[in-house]
Structure 1
Amino acid sequence: MSFSILQPPRILFGRGEAAKAAGLIRAFGNRVLVVHGANPDRASWLRIPEAEVQGLPCAGEPTLEMLEDALRRARGFEPQVVVGLGGGSVIDLAKALAALIPAPDGPMEHLEVVGKGLPLKADPLPFVAIPTTAGTGAEATKNAVIGLPEHRRKVSLRDDRMIARVAIVDPALTDHTPRSVTLASGLDAVTQVVEPFISCKATPWTDALTRPAIGPGLAALMRLMEGEDASARDTLAYTSLIGGMALANAGLGAVHGLAGVIGGMTGAAHGAICGALLGPALAVNRARSDGAARERIDEALGLLADPLGCAPVAVPEELAAWAHRAGLPRLSALGVAPADHAEISVAAVAASSSKANPVALTPDGFAEILGKAG
């Protein structure tokens, strides 16, 4: 048995914990760059006394062009600490800025797949993550996802030193998130406890995180589709955090291997893509697995069966049917045409997330998932 653990050195979880943010941020310096969503009013509650604060909006999932523009603006401010206050896209942009502001080279030196993928040459600035959605777990991961529309891809900037110094997960910040956003981001959160659990890189430590979170995470999301529920918000925020910690240490799988490619090609929301793929990927992985991998997938199906109220073998179909009844678009409605399946499948084989899938899928395996999700 051999494994390592990478996680933020300090994590605050619970309602009201966001009130401690100012003091924790101020401990890293008095020049603070706050990356927030498109509406700055949603970040106005964060006041940091005796600090010079510059806000930087992030509208949508970050692209290389957005990152390079933000870098120019941020370097002129010379921040000492970077804060990401918002959803996964905001946190990814903030994390990338914290990594690259001190870097002597540009983003293409360090981006995977389309760039050189080189390690950072300078330590990142201190980074504080405060999520306002429950989905990506980006507050606990070591990578930032950046879109390159001209390449029709999404790729990662990745380094162990990019992990947040402090992650503040206050579920109250997610209260009254719009229903469609809750559904898409919540399915991403569920996917990110399922995939690390069935991953070929799973460890006893990641199992201890993910196994107890799978069923309650889905159950909480299902309750939120019926109406606002503070307890369900708490559970889903916890599921998202656990997913981020688990994927940073055990990897993901076929869903995210496909989702990165599809997101780059279509611009569709990441959570919605993952939600459309999760059931079909579970079905294909189970059909193509045996031995310990099949046993692990069956255990995951059993954990999901209880909230769905079905037999474990029926989970892939029931999960997909429930998500679409709740309003999740099918993959074709997200911009994926059957003619694109072959190109997507070939690209997914080479995706970093696919390396942790419990089964080594070939392009035809990925194509089968896409066909089921269409």
Structure 2
Amino acid sequence: MGTRQEIGKQLFAGQLNMDYLEHQDQYLFTAPEAKVRLNVVGIGMMGMEHCKVTMLEGRATIHGFYDADPHSRDHHLKALSSAHPGQKFVVYDTLQSACNDPDVDGLIICTPNWTHVDVVREAVKSRKHILLEKPMATTIADAYEITKLAEGYEGVFQIGLQYRFKAIYAEAIHEALERKAIGDIKTISIQEHRVPFLDKVKQWNKFTKYSGGTLVEKCCHYFDLFNLFAQSKPDHVYATGGTAVNFQDFEYAGERSDILDHACVTVVYQNGIRASFNLCMFAPMFYEEIVLCGNEGRLKAYENTDYLPVHRKETHLEVLSGLHRPSRISTPCYPANIQHSGHHGATYYEHKYFIDNIEGNKTNTASVEEGFWSIVVGVAAEESVKTGNVVQIEELLAESGIRV
């Protein structure tokens, strides 16, 4: 998208209303022509976030959606129609019709985790571009099946591991992997402290058999970052965790919740890099932090939302390079309307790069293979918590008949 449309549509979105101007009097605020039409499969909270950033980015538009839950379907149709008066959205009765509409170029799959493999089996028949939400699957076997379905796929097949596009991580990637500001990475540490899992339709995210478990459902984002920074395959994983506060007495439809609300995970990579992850899901905030230590320096970055009236920066990044090169301290961020559009702007840029991929421009969006390895680490961590043992990745894969 050109600079003119970026200034008009994105930078001032929601702040200035230029609708009173006739078309011939609009220049900066002329909306770009949407060249890509997308259908959303699964229109819950994340489905709506995908709709929002698609329309904000502007090169694509939402054509329609399918959802098996009538309440979600009707509620979000009303919300979309209200936000975009005059635009008609197609509501599909079946998954097949949503996937195979000839007027549509791509599919955004946001259904509950355990349904992904079934939806992908149908979606790939369409040969349309696909953006599949994380986690790509809940088991290694299902994730591997999806990798096989994606082999030689004609369209874009992108996995929704969008945390790599949060401002703090995008800058960390630039500093550590591209600029080599801390030399060779030796250790990686990430922590997430946050509120409990939010409500979902039929509360599926409170049960491991539907979500894959906390370390798959939520933490695949961080294991993707581990894999990205390590630039290597995981060798073995050890994890401890439990349920200390959240959902201890929670039941739904006669089933008791069994997900973790805290964990500590260690991943050792084939190249010797060691990574550690600390999770707490009963903290009164949203806080993420990454620390990378290299042989020539240290990088630390965080983002924080704690709901207090005290004014302080939401993001921070520091690169301490000692005598090797200049150090720096910064506040990575995006324009406010983008940063607040979902996941600190990460979903917006995930969509920007999805359209770039469709247009043939190379990006660093997560591939299906990268999605697979984020699941492998998550499943290994869940298994280690359950058994108390170190999980060897080669053995874990062999249990599913996989040799890579």
TM exceeding 0.5: no
Instruction: Give the alignment's TM-score, normalised by structure 1.
Output: 0.36
Instruction: Give the alignment's TM-score, normalised by structure 2.
Output: 0.34
* Higher alpha-carbon Rg: 2
**Larger strand share, 1 or 2:** 2
State the structure with bigger RCO (CA 8 A, min sep 6), 1 or 2: 2
